Structure 1
Amino acid sequence: MQQIQEFFNKIDRSDINETMQNLLSDDIIDSIDIMALVAEIEKYYKKPLKADFIKAENFESFKNIKEMLEIAMQ
């Protein structure tokens, strides 16, 4: 979860933390934030995140992001 926090920090969204839920559906983040997160994720893992994984439910919480990354980046 610390790495996910770091991704948010790098896109200037340090106001977001792992206790927050419904990030997208409550308009806490938007599509621009998701694209910036994807860019940071791809830089960190040094490989692209497949488009199949870039869907709203995968970005609703830190838990969802973590679970998505465990599958997508193995």
Structure 2
Amino acid sequence: MSEPFALLWSRKSNGFHIEPLARACESGMRFFQGNIENDYLLLFTGSSDECSSKADELRRVCDERAVVRALYGPHEDPI
């Protein structure tokens, strides 16, 4: 079986990052232990190709958000 990968999304850069799932978990634990904010959210796990396909599928949403940001400026969550 091939190594599982993680598809991560950055709200700040409005982009995706794919890395081995084990590395994503290690990174998440470092952020947790240091009580540090992390902009990257885990969206999907699968093979590298599956993560790339999912990123391609979701990229339209990122493109639409970029247009909205350009027109109206960045949006901050009220939470």
Tell me the TM-score range normalised by the shorter chain: under 0.3
Which structure has greater helix proportion?
Answer: 1
TM-score normalized by structure 2?
A: 0.26
TM-score normalized by structure 1?
A: 0.28
